[in-house]
Structure 1
Amino acid sequence: MAELLLRGQPIGRVKGVLFDKDGTLSHSEPHLLRLADERIEQALQTWREQGRSVSSEAELHQQLRNAFGRRENGLDPAGTLAVAARRDNLTSMATVFCLQGCSWPEACEIASASFDASDQGPAGLSTISALLPGVDTLMKSLDRAAVTMAVISNDTADGIEQFLSHHDLHKRMNGFWSADNTPPKPDPGAVHALCEQLELQANDCALVGDAETDLTMARSAGIGVVIGFRGGWAVTPQLPSAHHLVDRWADLSVRPCA
């Protein structure tokens, strides 16, 4: 067991730390912004190619931006693209097309075609986001203190594995829970299942996330130390359910317990 310190002050003793990935460990916003713009452009192109009419293309464009949480000053850190899994983003886009008069099967077909086309473009290619400053230093400290570490994310298993391998973090991580697992987050059962896999109790763990859904999930699952990370987005996330708020990884440190 080790003691977590926030700006030098103790905030709790833990045996394990569960990390969200996008916006917490990784600086994913630049890639997600490009992906949002490409998916929207592909959707508009697919809509035109099918000869569908719309009262205002500008209105449709704005509805699609709203569906993904695309803002002028960045990505909404609580929006669909920042927080939710791919299937939920598909549903968001399909719902917009339903508002334009499509049936649900038609809307899903257009959304799927748009996602498939954007997956072939530059923003859709496998892109490994950079680590946020201070992540590697903290993980080395946790590793030295014999703290178990894992990732809990709405990314796919392949996406998580590629990220960990690229940044040479797979040697320190003891496991992960992805969108491919059941139940996926933000179901508290995802936390319980991951903790069981790690042979840890939830109240002996900290969870660090950048979304309110992460933190309410952690509280519901009985996580001992719930930490909101706010340094991964241009727009600061609102995280009222956090026990503690962290803006820089350098503010968080660890010391072994006697």
Structure 2
Amino acid sequence: MTLLPPVRAVLFDKDGTLFDFNATWMPLYLDTANEVAGGDKALALKLLVESGYDAATKRLDPHSSLAAGTNAEIAEIWARVAGGDWTVARLTRRFDANFAKSMEMRPTPVTDLAALFGRLKAKGLKIGVATMDSHAAARAAIETFELVGLVDFSCGYDSGHGHKPGPGMVHAFCRAIEIPAGDIAVVGDTPHDMHMARAAGAGLAIGVLTGVSPREVLADHADRVLDSIAELDALLA
């Protein structure tokens, strides 16, 4: 196994990386689809399927909008499928409101986040969170799980740094902490996260299996694939 490059900072994805994706997001997606469909179960299922849900396996396509897209991207699909009064703008507002409830529902962290982040900070590492959810949702997660003071940077799809898999979120993190991309590890659960790392010139792309992507999918794009971020301590020792 090749030696790892030096790492001075870690940029984490949020859902599927810090939090178990299926336990946190699938109930919200199902509830929102039923709401938009007005109780029409066939339409609700079609909304989910068209945006990346596999009804047979009950999992998401890791390349799909539900797995890795913005709320606006999901809204574009659902507006086309649902029709009627459900415009893209109205659906985006509904998603922002409904998905913000993920913090109220106490999403399932994949490990003790404060303890892990504390250990990483003790190693001298800077920490960031970059999500395709909103910036407000990222800040809510940081506050809810007592990570304020441990996280040096956070951004969402609406922060003005572009979207994954583009490099903008990584570059914004680099500017904020004044560390070059080659010294940064990007950690995420989707190919989009890995592609973002590559596009930005990040030193290390680390995939985790707590989200929507199986090992064989991430292995094609990541330098390392971990069962979860709980293994990051040992990797970066």
Same fold judged by TM-score > 0.5? yes
Q: Corresponding residue for 2:226?
A: 246
Larger gyration radius, structure 1 or structure 2: 1
2:180 counterpart of 1:201: yes
Identity %, equivalent residues: 23
Secondary structure in 1 matching 2:171:
helix
Q: Corresponding residue for 1:166?
A: 144
1:179 to 149, 152, 157: 157
Q: Which moved more, 1:36-45 or 1:159-168?
A: 36-45
TM-score (norm 1): 0.77
Contact 1:33–1:74 at 8 Å: present in 2 too? no
User: 1:140 Cα deviation (Å)?
Assistant: 2.2
| Runs ≥4 residues deviating over 6 A | 120-125
2:53 to 52, 65, 70: 70
Over aligned residue pairs, what C-alpha RMSD do you find?
Answer: 3.2
Contact 2:184–2:204 at 8 Å: present in 1 too? yes
Secondary structure in 1 matching 2:111:
coil
Q: Corresponding residue for 2:78?
A: 93
Contact 1:77–1:236 at 8 Å: present in 2 too? no
Q: Corresponding residue for 2:120?
A: 142
2:191 counterpart of 1:212: yes
Q: Corresponding residue for 2:35?
A: 42
Higher strand share: 1
User: 1:81 Cα deviation (Å)?
Assistant: 2.0
User: 1:114 Cα deviation (Å)?
Assistant: 9.4
Q: Which amino acid aligns with 1:75?
A: R
Cα distance in 2 for residues equivalent to 1:215 and 1:65:
24
Relative contact order (alpha carbons < 8 A, sep ≥ 6): 1 or 2 greater?
1
Structure 2: runs of 5+ lacking an equivalent: none
Cα distance in 2 for residues equivalent to 1:184 and 1:123:
24
After TM superposition, list the pairs within 5 Å mapping 1:46-125 onto structure 2: 58=42, 60-72=43-55, 73-76=57-60, 78=62, 79-97=64-82, 106=84, 108-109=86-87, 112=90, 116=94, 119=97
Cα distance in 1 for residues equivalent to 2:169 and 2:185:
15
Secondary structure in 2 matching 1:18:
strand
Contact 1:34–1:123 at 8 Å: present in 2 too? no
Q: Corresponding residue for 1:53?
A: none
2:108 to 112, 115, 130: 130
In structure 2, the CA distance between the partners of 1:181 and 1:117, relative to structure 1 (3 Å rule), is: closer
Equivalences, count:
232
Cα distance in 2 for residues equivalent to 1:207 and 1:213:
11
Q: Which moved more, 1:37-46 or 1:202-211?
A: 37-46
User: 1:201 Cα deviation (Å)?
Assistant: 0.4
1:155 to 133, 147, 152: 133
Structure 1: runs of 5+ lacking an equivalent: 1-5, 49-56
Q: Which amino acid aligns with 1:30?
A: A
Cα distance in 1 for residues equivalent to 2:91 and 2:235:
51
1:152-191 Cα distance to aligned partner (Å, 9 max, x none):
1112121111111111112211111212211332121221
User: 1:123 Cα deviation (Å)?
Assistant: 6.3
User: 1:43 Cα deviation (Å)?
Assistant: 2.2
User: 1:74 Cα deviation (Å)?
Assistant: 3.5
Cα distance in 2 for residues equivalent to 1:122 and 1:151:
16
